[in-house]
Structure formats: C-alpha cells, structure tokens
Amino acid sequence: MLIVFLTIAIIIARVASASEPFIIDKEFAAVTCGSGIKLVNKATGARLHSHEVHYGSGSGRQSVTGYPKGDDPNSLFVVGAALSGSCSRGQPVHCGDSIRLQHLNTRQYLHSQSGIQSPMSKNQEVSGHDQPGTGDNWIVQCLDSKEKLWGRERNIKLVHANTKHFLGTSSRFSFQNVITGQLEVSARSGKNGDEEIWSVQEGVFFATAAS
C-alpha cells in the first residue's frame, strides 16, 4: 500500500517551511478515499496512533493512542468506505458520511463497541481490530454547518456509528509503561469540548477525482 502511495501522483502536507504560508491546492482541499491521513486532536495536539502493542485489559486488542509527535508513520490511517459501502480512490468524503479508518502499517481497523471499558478513563474502549464489522464505522461530523465536504485542516468530530460515542483523548490519561507518554484514546458520550475535536494536518493525499 505504501509503495502505491509513493508511485501515484500525491501531495505530502507540510512540505513548505514554517516561515512560508502553506496553501492547499483546490484539488487536494477535501479529504478523499484512499488517502493516508494523520488526525490531530485539538485539545492535546496528539496524533491518532496505533502500533503492535495490545491492551492488558478490556478486549486485549491492539491499542489506539494519542501520540505527541507528528513524525511517526504509525499515525497514518487510510480513509475507506464504511462496511458494505463503496468509496473509490479520490472520491471526496462528505460531512455526515460513514467511513472506516484502517491503520496503514498493521492493517487494523479503528474499532469500538459497547460494553468494553478503556483502561484508564473507563470510557468506551477504542482499539485496532482485524475482523471487519459495523463497529469499525465512524460518522464524519463537520463542525461548520456550511461545509459539505470534509476539508483538510477543518475541525470535525468522529462519531461511532453504532454507539453514537465521540472519538476523543485527554492529557489527563497518559500511559506510564511500555508506551510511556502516549495518551489514552476512547469513545465518549460527548460534552468534552476540544478533547473530541480532530483535524487532518498531515498525510499522503489523493487529489479529488474528476466527476
């Protein structure tokens, strides 16, 4: 998959130096299916992240965390269609669409389900899951009601389709061993403000396909 990204016409975000304004070309302004994205949490600045480290409690599945640095490839997730849906490469994601996010390096889907608690906050656990199911579906909720497409660098929330909980993280819940300094990511019932707001700040993007 990574080789495909590098051999097809792509754009890598943040190539401009910090002293220069970064302008997103129109054809790359929307988040598109097939793109590899890094989601940044507004409250903490952490990137959504996963790795081959499993929870010691709950489901025991692959852990999903908030990673404080932006240069780790384990923070890349590929945007795809919801289970039983379709989304061709370069197709823009609309506000309100259901999607799945697949961890690029381990191929695990971002997953949650009711009845399994996260290790520290005791919210709903978020994990990486290798068996596709409806627990992998997330709804893109754009915060600007005027927007029709999920735009890069635009604030969104990700709502778990089955349980209506919001993907979030907090600096109050930090792991102390094995993955020291990484933050717990969980699905919450809401009302946590910036802890549940995300935006796409870096990634490997496919241009919007011609309609």
Which CATH code fits 2-7+42-205? Answer: 2.80.10.50
pLDDT of residue 21: 63
Go through 180-202 and write b for each residue having 16 or more CB atoms within 10 A of its CB, e for each that does not: eebbbbbbbeeeeeebbbbbbbb
Up-side HSE of residue 165: CA atoms within 13 Å toward CB? 24
- 159-202 residue pLDDT tens: 999 999 999 999 999 999 889 999 999 999 988 899 999 999 99
pLDDT: which is higher, 19 or 95: 95
- 56-90 residue pLDDT tens: 999 999 999 999 998 899 999 999 999 989 999 99
Work out the angle at residue 187's Cα, subtended by the Cα atoms of residues 184 and 192, and round it to the nearest 5 degrees. Answer: 85
Amino acid type, 111: H
Measured CA to CA, the distance from residue 148 to residue 163 in angstroms comes to 24
Where are the chain's structural domains?
2-7+42-205
pLDDT at 25 over 90: yes
Structural element, H or E, at residue 2? helix 2-7
Measured CA to CA, the distance from residue 94 to residue 29 in angstroms comes to 12
Q: Write down the number of H helices and E strands in the chain.
A: 1, 13
pLDDT at 18 over 80: no
pLDDT at 22 over 80: no
